[in-house]
Amino acid sequence: MKFPKDYLLLVLFLTTVAGGVLAWRQYNELIDLRAAAMNSNERADWQKRLWDAEKNRKALEARVTELEQKPAPATDDAAAVARPANRRTNRGPGDRASEFMALMEKPEMQRLVTLERKGALDARFAPLFKNLNLTPEQLDKFKNLLVEKQTSMMDVAAAAREQGINPRTDPAAFKQMVSDAQNEIDASIKATLGDAAFSQYQSYEQTQPQRNTVNQLEQRLSYSSTPLTDAQSSQLVSILAANSANSANDNPARMMFGGAGGPGGSTKITDATIAAAQGVLTAPQVTALQQLQQEQQAQAALAKTMREQFNATRNQGGSTGGTAAPAPTTKTGGG
């Protein structure tokens, strides 16, 4: 196997430098040892080590000089060296997504994801588990089905690849596959919980983004003099659900790791939400809710600006993955 000339030169150069540093250090040590009145055998040993280091350094310098004078590698060799770098540079989002999906299809990865998801259920569903009052056997089966629902996206992704369905180019077909898979698991959950408990579960799932937003407010007010009560939290969830729309359920990546709504999904706080909340919250609590609304608006504006900048840069660079050309400057006024 031939190494690129520049790479070999770099290695030899670094080795030469290291040899020179070693020789210099050994030379200084030799001086110190002489001053310490070493015996003749010790001095001879250190002198030999110094000479060997110096000899190696000169040999490496000669080898570097020899390589510098050799002609450049053949075109085929250069192409062979360049190809791996080109493959890495030109990989697009689709390639990375395929690699990720292939990784997630491995049994060991699925096992790890299952364990992680089951451990995270309490953080999301503890209030529901408490309200349902299930038997230990029912609860364990329910948890397993919830994990299966959350991780079903990996099975769907594998099936989509086998059928040639690309989520980027055919999102409708992919979402239908997701819906079919999760409806099947919902049927098993309903059979486990019964109609009434299943209805509670559905309501809880559908309002998960609103619950996440209320949790944010709860945390912010938890160290204040006006924390939210359980009744206020429940009422605020209903207000958010009635006065805002949420599209988190349409995000396939979110469904893969969090199910419908996703553990990280939240809902937009609208002016209508603020108005309705004034009948439930105290004045300081309403102020905190307004602050959350302002933060959401700032995050949305920042995300929009970054998205527009990214799209502009990508359009300038074209679809070949090349470096984007600098935007032309337009002069105004004189000169």
Number of H helices and E strands in the chain, helices first, is: 13, 0
Cα–Cα dist 323/153, whole Å: 35
Retrieve residue 49's tokens. Answer: 């080590």
Retrieve residue 14's tokens. Answer: 């670094």
Q: What is the mean pLDDT of each run of 10 residues along the chain (335 residues)?
A: 46 50 51 51 62 63 60 48 46 61 70 80 90 94 92 82 87 90 94 95 92 94 95 95 62 44 72 96 97 94 92 72 47 44
Residue pair 15/60 in contact (Cβ under 8 Å)? The answer is: yes
Q: How many CB atoms lie within 10 A of CB 227?
A: 15
Of the CA atoms within 13 Å of residue 9, those in its CB half-sphere come to: 11
Residue 95: its pLDDT value, please?
Answer: 63
Of the CA atoms within 13 Å of residue 193, those in its CB half-sphere come to: 25
Residue pair 201/277 in contact (Cβ under 8 Å)? The answer is: no
Domain ranges of the chain: 5-71, 97-202, 207-306
Residue 101: its pLDDT value, please?
Answer: 61
Residue 245: its pLDDT value, please?
Answer: 59
Cα–Cα dist 283/221, whole Å: 12
Find the helix packing angle between 195-206 and 107-132, rounded to 10°: 110
CA proximity to 6, closest of 87, 77, 84, 90: 77
Q: Tell me which amino acid residue 260 is.
A: A
Greatest CA span in the chain, whole angstroms? 97
pTM for this model (two decimals): 0.54
Residue 265: its pLDDT value, please?
Answer: 77
Cα–Cα dist 285/288, whole Å: 5
